[in-house]
Structure 1
Amino acid sequence: MTKRLFDLLLTLPGLLLLLPLMAVIALWVRLDSPGPVLFRQQRVGRGGVSFALLKFRSMRFDAEKLGPKVTVGADPRITRSGQFLRKSKLDELPQLFNVVMGQMSLVGPRPEVPEYVAHYPAEIHDKVLSVPPGITDLASIEFRNENAMLEGVDDPVATYLNEIMPIKLDYYVSYVEQRSLWLDLKIIFRTFWVVVSH
Structure 2
Amino acid sequence: MNFIKRDIDLARSVAVTGLREPSPPARKWPITYDSVEIITVLADAAVILSTSIVAGICYHLYTFGAPGDILEYVGSAAIVAALFISLMKSREMYKPAELLILRTQVRAISVLWIAVFFLLAGAIFALKTGNEISRGANLLFALFGYSALIAQRFLWRRLLTEGMIKKRFSGRKIVLITDHSHSAESNLPHVLTSLGFRLERHFTLPPPEHGSRRREKIISSAIAYVRGSEVEEIVVGADLNRWPELRSLITELRILPFPVNLIPLGAVSEIFKQPSHTLGNATCIEVQRGPLTPFEYTAKRCIDIVLSGMGVLTLLPLLIIVAIAIKLDSPGPVLFKQRRCGFNGRCFQILKFRTMTVLEDGAVVTQAERGDNRVTPLGKWLRRTSIDELPQLFNVLEGSMSLVGPRPHAEAHDTQFDKIVRNYALRHRVKPGLTGWAQVNGCRGATPTSTDIERRVEFDLWYIDNWSFRLDFAILLQTFTEVLRCRNAY
**Bin of the TM-score, shorter chain as denominator length:** 0.7 to 0.9
1:143 corresponds to: 443
Map Cα deviations across residues 3-60 of structure 1 (whole Å, 9 max, x no partner): 1001111110111000000000000011100000000011000010000001000000
Q: What is the distance in 2 between the residues matched to 1:23 and 1:62?
A: 21
Residues 96, 5 of structure 1: alpha-carbon distance in 2 compared, 3 angstrom cutoff: same
Q: Which of 83, 87, 93 is the aligned partner of 2:384?
A: 87
Separation in structure 2 between the aligned mates of residue 96 and residue 52 of structure 1, nearest angstrom: 13
Give the corresponding residue for 1:76. Answer: 373
Q: Which moves more between the two structures, 68-77 or 40-49?
A: 68-77
Match of 2:319 in 1: 22
2:424–2:457 CA contact under 8 A, matched in 1: no
Call closer, same or farther: CA 1:13–1:132 in 2, change over 3 Å.
same
- The normalised TM-score by structure 1 is 0.86
Change (3 A) 1:59 1:112: same
Going from structure 1 to structure 2, the CA distance change for 1:87 and 1:79 (only over 3 Å counts) comes to same
Are the aligned partners of 1:56 and 1:91 in contact in 2 as well (CA < 8 Å)?
yes
Alignment of 1:99-178 (within 5 A): 99-118=396-415, 119-120=417-418, 124-141=423-440, 142-144=442-444, 146-147=445-446, 156=448, 159=449, 162-178=450-466
Equivalent-residue separation in structure 2 for 1:32 and 1:125 (angstroms): 38
Give the letter for the 1:136 counterpart: T
- Please say if residues 436 and 475 of structure 2, whose CA atoms lie closer than 8 Å, have aligned partners that are also in contact: yes
How far apart, in 2, do the equivalents of 1:104 and 1:62 lie? Answer: 21
Q: Which runs of 5+ in 2 are unaligned?
A: 1-295
CA distance in 2, matches of 1:19, 1:124: 39
Aligned-pair distance for 1:116? Answer: 2.1
Give the secondary structure class of the aligned counterpart of 2:423. Answer: helix
Displacement, 1:197?
5.0
Give the secondary structure class of the aligned counterpart of 1:39. strand
Q: Which runs of 5+ in 1 are unaligned?
A: 151-155
Identity, % of aligned pairs?
A: 38
- Cα RMSD for the two superposed structures: 2.1
Change (3 A) 1:64 1:10: closer
Query: TM-score scaled to structure 2, two decimals?
Result: 0.36
Task: Measure, in 2, the Cα distance between the counterparts of 1:188 and 1:116.
Answer: 26
In the alignment, residue 456 of structure 2 is paired with which amino acid?
K
**Partner SS state of residue 103, structure 1:** coil
Cα distance change of structure 1 residues 64 and 48 upon mapping to structure 2, 3 Å threshold = closer
CA contact (8 A) 1:36 1:61 kept: no
State how far apart, in whole Å, the 1-side matches of 2:401 and 2:361 are: 23
Displacement of 1:75 in angstroms is 0.2
For residues 473 and 374 of structure 2, the distance between their equivalents in structure 1, rounded to whole angstroms, comes to 35
CA contact (8 A) 1:34 1:61 kept: no
2:471 to 165, 171, 183: 183
- Residue 111 of structure 1 aligns to a residue whose secondary structure is coil
Q: Considering Cα pairs closer than 8 Å and 6+ residues apart, tell me whether 1 or 2 has the greater RCO.
A: 1
